[in-house]
Amino acid sequence: RFCAGFAIAVWVGPWGREAFPDRQTDFGLTKAAISALGGGFSAIAGGVLSDILGERDASRRLYLPVAGSLGAAVCWGMMMDAQSFEWAMGWLLLQYLFAECWFGAAIATLQGQLPKEVQGGAQGAFSTLTVFGNLAPLLIGQASQHMPLADVLHATVPALYLGSAAAFALTCRALGEAAPKLDAETDRRSE
């Protein structure tokens, strides 16, 4: 998920300048508002929705980033294909609303599965995934030297989102299978 986010953060500006050369200022201002307001709203709403989904089964929290990653992939493709600035920005807003809902669910799931004494270290390790995420913009930059940036972004960003959806789905499945074992272990400790 970090790969898609960092790819967009680095490369959507150059793409926007190419796609809408007469609307560069509008693009910059609109993109900033979408990132701050749309992304911020999605992160908060995603965290609240994650809490609701996880009430009965913690693994269900991850349904949200699975759906969000899939929706973001579709919206990114639609944005890249949009024929006007207004439609492109509308799709970008929707992409942010889908994409940024993942963080609360991921952190809550991570912390909910670990003993309190290792949660800080696990959070630190999770944060180091940003190093891996920064590889995507580097690779996109290399690829864009050999083909148009728009083509590279149209192919890579949805693929990264689909990979993210698959990773969240596999984690959700693994947690669902482990839940009965965890419940039995907790019951034994409480006796």
Return d(Cα 87, Cα 52) in angstroms, integer. 32
Residue in 107, 102, 110, 129 with CA at minimum distance from that of residue 3: 129
Q: Say if residue 186's pLDDT is above 90.
A: no
Query: pLDDT of 14-66, one tens digit each?
Result: 999 999 999 999 999 999 999 999 999 999 999 999 999 988 888 889 999 99
Q: State residue 168's pLDDT score.
A: 93
Among all chains, which residue has been given the structure tokens 């493709």?
77
The arithmetic mean of pLDDT across residues 71-93, rounded, is: 97
8 A C-beta contact, residue 79 and residue 96: no
Q: Is 41 within 8 Å of 59 (Cβ atoms)?
A: no
Indicate the pLDDT class of residue 179, thresholds 50, 70 and 90: low
Angle at 66 between CA 64 and CA 70, to 5 degrees: 115
Average pLDDT over residues 10-17: 96
Alpha helices in the chain, H assignment, sequence order: 2-19, 24-33, 39-53, 63-81, 85-99, 102-112, 119-127, 129-133, 135-143, 149-190
Residue from 59, 45, 7, 31 nearest 174 by CA: 59
The SS3 of residue 71 is helix
> Residue 191 pLDDT more than 60?
no
Where residue 155 falls (left for φ over 0; alpha for ψ -120 to 50; beta otherwise) is: alpha
Contact 62, 166 (CB under 8 A): no
**Residue 164 in this model has a pLDDT that exceeds 50:** yes
Whole-angstrom distance, CA of residue 115 vs CA of residue 67? 28
